[in-house]
Amino acid sequence: MENNVTKTKAWKKLALHYRFFKKTEMKDLFALDARRGSRYAVSLGSLYLDYSKNRFNEKTMQHLLELADEVHLKEKIEAMFAGEKINRTENRAVLHTALRNRASTPVYVDGRDVMPEINAVLAKMKKFTDAVRYGEFKGETGKKLTTIVNIGIGGSDLGPVMATAALKEYWAKDVQCHFISNIDGSACDDVLSKIDPETTLFVIVSKTFTTIETLTNARTCRKWLIDALGEFAVAKHFVAVSTNAAEVAKFGINTDNMFEFWDFVGGRYSMWSAVGLSIALAIGMENFEKMLDGAYEMDNHFRSAPFAENIPVILGLLGVWYDNFFNFHSYGVVPYDQDLRYLPAYLQQLDMESNGKSVNLNNKFVKHATGPVLFGGAGTDVQHSFFQLLHQGTQVVPLDLIVPAISHNEIGEHHEILVANALAQGEALMRGKTVGEAAAELAKSGKSVTDVSRLKRYKSFAGNRPTNTIVIKKLDPYALGMLVAMYEHKVFVEGAIWNIDSFDQMGVELGKQMALSILPELQGHASGLHDSSTRRLIELVKKLRK
């Protein structure tokens, strides 16, 4: 296998093909092929991907599929599912897929089948969530615990935040969920000012139980609870998702209420594990398991479907095509569903923490682009913020539009208007509007010849801007599971092609290490060596705080 992807035959073919294809207009491709819209679409259950509004033709896709074969993508997929240690920098398996292995077929890590442990934790989660939801596990004063506060950061926060918001329609009627992640004291204060200690259950999510942001927030919440209900209340109002039993017990949590997860599950892939405890508490374990079922269906599709019909593979190949050949280094995700408003933030971590790498698996610096800058927000809100740049800016940004066909809240014409906007954006970004078309439109509206001449360029749109449209029937736990697993595997495909480790996050560490050295200086206990800017900033903040 050629470890430098830019030296592969397929890459060279793509580079040559790009030179001749780069100015091709998508609207011309549609004009030449009346069946393009159906030819380039794939469905899996109730999830439908239309990728026809992308800048490619049959030859492009042929070369991209050759690239997948040449980098042995099939073997890399199998290595992940089989529990091989594909996280090479940390010498770990990557088995978020085992967390939703609904068939419970054996998955081995170091010769040990991990499925019995995974199923045991799922069973423990079910027993505990049922006890809380049905009022059997009560707080210190005997009241039912109806307020869930998740304390975590990164993958221990973003997944639960996204999924609980996405599945709000499935929450128990009496439950409320809150999330504390930021070390900013305002984040803690904002939540604590809204809740009742007698009915609150805190879920601390930290694998090592040493994460500074999480533990600082947890200790503040612990003091708040003790001030209200006394020391003994901690065991009835706090649970932990961790592997550090000693520190959990030291905090005052009963280790019977500690839920384990494993080194083969990275933080940004962990909401399928006990990290999703707050999700299960909100929507019930039955619905949490439906989310696992949806992800499992996407896993099986990714593992077995031919690449030409494989949804994550197609998305990943198009991502490589844009990032490495068109030099489109940004990527947008716009769900047309208010409940999916946190999905882009979740995908930011998934994509940018996974593939924001500059060293490959051969310990060489890469000389090509890797992960794009991902951003997004809920439609139609973002049509009135960053869509101006998407339509008329000098940068081209490939975009995913996510559209549920049915809303949980069918009020009047709201959902038809929402869907009409989503579909119109894809068509408008693809077709654009020429200067001549703009001039004719202005003239037809009664503008003078002078005004037509003055305004026609301002009213024109370059078009030829790519979108994928992903349609689901309705946003339910199963559909959410499919959707998130689809993006996980898309990111995997891109990392596999670029020959990078998509499962470490070394870049998160340097800033944290330096913060620990600056903290004593801000507190006046020490001084250190810094550049002149940082040194002056430390002194300025200390002066202002006095």
Q: What is the C-alpha R_g of the chain?
A: 25
Task: Give the relative orientation of helices 285-304 and 311-321 as an angle to the nearest 10 degrees.
Answer: 70
Predicted pLDDT at 260:
95
CA distance 494 to 320: 6
User: Angle at Cα 492 formed by Cα 490 and Cα 495, nearest 5°?
Assistant: 115
Q: Right CATH number for 5-70+305-431+466-504 from 3.40.50.10490, 1.10.167.10, 3.90.190.10, 3.30.465.10? A: 3.40.50.10490
Burial of 249 (0-12, 13-18, 19+ CB in 10 A): middle
CA distance 196 to 188: 14
Please check whether residue 502 is in contact with residue 436, taking contact to mean a CB–CB distance below 8 angstroms. Answer: no
CA distance 276 to 231: 27
Same fold, 5-70+305-431+466-504 and 100-288: yes
Predicted pLDDT at 1:
42
Task: Give the relative orientation of helices 477-498 and 73-81 as an angle to the nearest 10 degrees.
Answer: 130
Strand order in the sheet with 176-180: 176-180, 147-151, 200-205, 238-241, 258-259
Domain at 100-288: CATH architecture: 3-Layer(aba) Sandwich (3.40)
H helices within 106-244, ranges in order? 115-133, 155-166, 185-192, 212-229, 234-237
53 alpha-carbon distance from chain centroid = 23
What amino acid positions are annotated as catalytic residues?
353, 384, 512
Amino acid at 414: H
CA distance 319 to 334: 16
Predicted pLDDT at 2:
45
Please check whether residue 137 is in contact with residue 190, taking contact to mean a CB–CB distance below 8 angstroms. Answer: no
Q: What is the DSSP letter of 275?
A: G
Evaluate the CA torsion angle 473, 477, 478, 479 in order and state its sign: positive
Burial of 48 (0-12, 13-18, 19+ CB in 10 A): middle
Non-local CB neighbours of 496 within 8 Å, separated by 6+ positions? 71, 73, 76, 77, 502
Predicted pLDDT at 385:
97
Instruction: Note the pTM of the prediction, 2 decimals.
Output: 0.96
Q: What is the DSSP string of 161-191?
A: HHHHHHTGGGS-TT-EEEEE--SSHHHHHHH
Structure tokens at 81: 């599912």
The pairing of strands 238-241 and 200-205 is parallel
The pairing of strands 399-406 and 330-335 is parallel
Specify the 3-state DSSP secondary structure of 472: strand
Structure tokens at 211: 């994460």
Q: How many CB atoms lie within 10 A of CB 6?
A: 13
CA distance 163 to 276: 9
Give the chain's largest Cα–Cα span: 81
Mean pLDDT by runs of 10 across the 546 residues of the chain is 82 98 97 97 97 98 98 98 96 97 96 97 98 97 98 96 98 97 96 98 95 96 98 98 96 96 94 98 98 98 98 98 98 98 98 97 95 97 97 98 97 97 98 97 97 98 98 98 98 98 91 88 84 93 92
Predicted pLDDT at 230:
97
Domain boundaries, given as residue ranges, for the chain: 5-70+305-431+466-504, 100-288, 509-545
Distances (CA, A) of 115 to 47, 108, 109: 28, 8, 10
H helices within 256-310, ranges in order? 277-283, 285-304
Amino acid at 332: G
The pairing of strands 200-205 and 176-180 is unpaired
